Structures are given as structure tokens and as C-alpha cells.
Amino acid sequence: MATTTAAKPEFRALHRYARMTARKGRLVADAIRGKDVNTALQFLEFAPQRAAAYYLKVLKSAVANASQDPNVNVNRLVICDCRADDGPLLNNRMRWRPGPQGRAMPFRKRTSHLTVVVREADA
């Protein structure tokens, strides 16, 4: 009979409605996914992308969430999931730009939902 091991707890942090496109956020998310937290924090400190500043705050929040559990060693945390999903378009005070054949096209102000999930690394 197979032995079952208890799954390691995961700690999550979200930033919803970030004023950034999800496509640009995914570039940073792909760069830090799977890395340990200390390496990812160093990377995000010096990354030139605007999304890196958002992910830096979310990652620090996820580490703070993990530090609330006394059984977790925060120095062994690894980013197990990191993603940027599409959020709603901002429609307040809609502005317009010229479109083809005399039409008007709205400016599409995109938002995204950023998620970072960390857990303790396997031994």
C-alpha cells in the first residue's frame, strides 16, 4: 500500500485590478515562476518592467502571509504559481480616438489580476 504524505501548505497573495496589461505581466510572471523567494526578490528589485514593481509587492505579501505560520521556514519558500489574468476594462471617463471610415474607437484601458502562490521547498 502506498504511503501518503501531507501536502505542503500554500500561501497566496493577490493584486486585483492592477493598471497594467496581463500580457506584459506574464513576461515577469514567467521569469520568476519556480524560483526561490530570495532570488525572485532580487530579480524584481532591478527588473526594468513596470510589472516587476507590482509583483514585488505581491510577493512580499505572500511571504508575509507564510510567516504567520510557525511551522514554515520562510527562507525555503519557492514560487509554485505566478500568473497574470485579464481584468475588466476601465470605462470611467471614456476617451475616444479616430477610427476607420469616420468611426470613433475607445481607448481600451486594460487591467489585470496578479496572483503569487508560494510554498516550502521539498527536502
The 3-class secondary structure across 77-107, one letter per residue, is EEEEEEEEEECCCECCCCCEEECHHHCEEEC
Mean pLDDT, residues 19-39: 96
The rounded distance, in Å, linking the Cα atoms of 78 and 68 is: 16
In the DSSP assignment, the letter for residue 35 is S
For residue 4, the model assigns a pLDDT of 67
For residue 55, the model assigns a pLDDT of 98
If you average pLDDT over every residue of the chain, what do you get?
Answer: 93
Only one residue has cell 501548505, namely 9
Q: Is this structure's pTM higher than 0.75? A: yes
CATH number for 11-90+105-120 (one of 3.30.1360.120, 3.20.20.70, 3.90.470.10, 3.40.50.12140): it is 3.90.470.10
pLDDT band at residue 116 under the 50/70/90 scheme: very high
pLDDT band at residue 8 under the 50/70/90 scheme: confident
